[in-house]
Structure 1
Amino acid sequence: MIVGHDKAVEAFDSARRSGSLHHAWLLAGPKGVGKATFARAAATRVLADAAGPKVDLPGLQTPTEHPTARLVEARSHPDMRLLERLENEKTGALARNITVDQVRGLAELFDLTPSMSPWRAVVIDAADDLEKSAANALLKMLEEPPANCVFLLVSHAPGRLLPTIRSRCRALSFQPLGDDVMASLLETHAPTINAAERARIIAKAGGSVGRAVAFAALDLARLQDAAAKILRDGDPTNARRADLAIELGRKGAAERYAAFLDLVPTLIALEARRHSGRQLERALDAYAQSRELASLAPRLSLDPASTVFQLGGILASVASRPVP
């Protein structure tokens, strides 16, 4: 069930029920608010209603026992494809991008007659991860879409997508989740944390349940406190950023490091709202720098410790005083 995004659910469901479903949808908003969950639910409902038995539930809900839902959950539905960064079998690390070969592989789906109904569905999570040639290959498909196919593109930074891709999609906007919704979701996904810790995590998660669950599982609240101290007080001796670099550069810290890359730009963005004038300018510059570095680091396999140290310097730049 999709919670906290009633407008997006109603917009897609209304188009689906009208019989004039647009062929491509851009699901845009912050990380961790439920865009990928929405995409899978929307694809499942379209395929389930087309294949039968007809679903008698509101919105995008499909019973878990429905044949289509079972196939989607098992990632074995013959008329659906999920494109995401692939895992390296040897290292376990994710690839830098969604490749052009993955996009071209959709031709197999479109060349064959649909197996279970006239409809097919493609979920891309996230479209931001498409390499340049992959984005161009996808654009050709969106320009001449196959009949009875819905594309659902998840995007955390839609402004970085090709304008021609954006123009061929109907956009749905996803906002940070409210505290009540966050509390309810955390009770489901992290039932062992107490009420006080839950409230502390919600206050730090910025409306992202994905980030909140990571806080609970990876002790990210402590990392955020350390980063916030650099952001507010600076780091004149480099000791604070060095400690973070050592901690997140260790073997076994990959998940916490990845979460930290996501956390820093968000933390700076929240801090920017508190300022004006020159300090706001510094915060906005730091936000742009941190976002670019956080995006490039995994793609270029940059050294985690060095990357964290550099991010610490960007955090400290917000706190530093301008030179007279």
Structure 2
Amino acid sequence: MNMPTETLVENQNSTAIMSMVQAIRSAMDVMLERDPKVVAFGQDIGYFGGVFRCTEGLQAKYGRSRVFDTPISESGIVGIAVGMGAYGLRPVAEIQFADYVYPAYDQLASEAARLRFRSAGQFSAPMTVRMPCGGGIYGGQTHSQSPEAIFTQVCGLRTVMPSNPYDAKGLLIAAIENDDPVIFLEPKRLYNGPFDGHHDRPVTPWSKHAASAVPEGYYTVPLDSAAIVRPGSDVTVLTYGTTVYVAVTAAEETGIDAEVIDLRSLWPLDLDTIVESVKKTGRCVVVHEATRTCGFGAELVALVQEHCFHHLEAPIERVTGWDTPYPHAQEWAYFPGPTRVGAALHRVMEV
């Protein structure tokens, strides 16, 4: 899988092999050291280091005034972040699981997202809300959801989901530095990769990028830029997060020359890269883990139809999770896997 190339700002020659957890921790370490206005907080992220250990050691290094625990109150966590951002800090708030964010949704949609507009530019909310998302840990209905679509339709929020450690660190640094609120979604299945697209198969060579070389210092990845992780000419696959690896596996197993695009930033969306690819291939498959109805894939299908209609050689396909409550006992059947994605690739090629 081709890794994105970005311009590094510092420590260009100093890299380390990192998992996504380590890359996220490194991003926060870099920003806590660079900018005294950066603070991090959430349930158990201080002394304990977070349920997935993304903040391990940061409180010991920067103190309890910079990295601290909060009560179990998601609306309070996000509300505090809005206030901190409005008065000059750059808070990084963690919601322990994306499933827990719903009590805080009003703070995000009604306060954080609208602050710049409703204050005529006098205030903004330069805050980042990190949250683990998706399944893969047998966490059941309340620890496995993929709620990205509810954020992408809120004007004023940016929504990001990385698929590899390099992007995770660069995007998180860019998010912390951004003057608007950023929803930073972290796929749990990729936290401690590698992942080869199957849960029961040995690691394939390209999957090493789920644990890969990451610059140890400061660098950023643009918040509005997609990455072509597998060039191809037959069909465009639009995806993000964990299903990037599923799509690449499906392309390799079917032998179809699919161009796989990792969106990285769901909103703002890199529409230019999408349109250029679909106009070249004439076919499109959309893959994501979230439920099908009103999932983010529906927006992608609409955009491709609007901008590429005269170039399409086949109907656009979607491969997604089921429209059901999260099925704990059938978790791996629920996920779009290479078999389901491969079938979609064959369908669009047969038209």
* Shared fold per TM-score greater than 0.5: no
Q: Which has the higher helix share?
A: 1
Greater CA radius of gyration, 1 or 2? 1
Q: So what's the TM-score if we normalise by structure 2?
A: 0.33
